[in-house]
Amino acid sequence: MAVYDLEEQEQLAELKTWWTQHGKFVTSLVLVVALAAAGWQAWNWWQRDQAAQASAIYGGLQIAANQRDAKRTRELAGDLIDKFPRTAYAAMGALVSAKVQQDSGELKTAQVQLQWVADNSNDDAIRALANLRLAGVMLDEKNYDGALARLAAEPVAAFTVRHKEVKGDIYSAQGKVAEARVAYEEAITALEAKQAQADVTGTERGRNLAYQEVLRSKLDGLASAGVKP
């Protein structure tokens, strides 16, 4: 028993010595880990709270948009951008509002909102959509160079057809028939490739065929400009 007590005393002495040397470091490390865990929980709570508040505003924005209330839609989109710019709701709200503003003839407001999305969204698809719509607004304002600049980069695959079509619209408005023809033909080719995919549903196939007719009508319409295929 005495031997056992002696061994315990030696171990205790070693532990005290180790703690004297390293105790402060261990205490600090434990404190850092505890603070990090608390901070992580607080961050997650804050993100959930931000998302919940932004979601409520976005819901009101959708109602205003469905009612074609341009003023209320613009205000709510502004709230999302000002208060919750890092949430997905801010970009989606700005896109919805910009469409309402454009339909209401408020092209400058639509352009500002689309510009914000194009410059601030972290989602490639959302940025591509914003640039497409921004190019459309600039086309309406006859800012052809600005519109083409928005389409300078190749889009994500989902927007290839629309990207080529809008380019064709811009060139057509400029009277650049040859360039418009190339753009429309590229749009049709991209749509045909999409149509050939095995996973295209019947409903989507019907929409694609209708879209092809629209593109072919635009292409045929260029003949009136004096340039034949």
- What DSSP character marks residue 141? T
Mean pLDDT of the chain: 83
Q: How many residues does the chain have?
A: 229
pLDDT tens per residue, range 87-125: 888 999 999 999 999 999 999 999 999 999 999 998 899
Where do the H-state alpha helices sit in 88-201?
88-103, 107-120, 124-140, 144-150, 160-174, 177-195
Separation between Cα atoms, residue 56 and residue 69, nearest integer Å: 17
- Model pTM? 0.73
Other CB atoms within 10 A of residue 172 CB: 21
- What DSSP character marks residue 196? T
Other CB atoms within 10 A of residue 168 CB: 25
pLDDT tens per residue, range 25-63: 656 665 556 556 655 565 555 567 677 888 899 999 999
Which secondary-structure segment (H or E) carries 72?
A: helix 70-83
* pLDDT-derived band at 229, boundaries 50, 70, 90: very low
Of 144, 150, 180, 145, residue with least CA distance to 165: 180
**Residue scoring higher pLDDT (189 or 15):** 189
Q: What is the DSSP string of 33-59?
A: HHHHHHHHHHHHHHHHHHHHHHHHHHH
Separation between Cα atoms, residue 218 and residue 23, nearest integer Å: 78
Domains of the chain: 67-127 (no CATH), 154-229 (1.20.58)
- What DSSP character marks residue 159? G
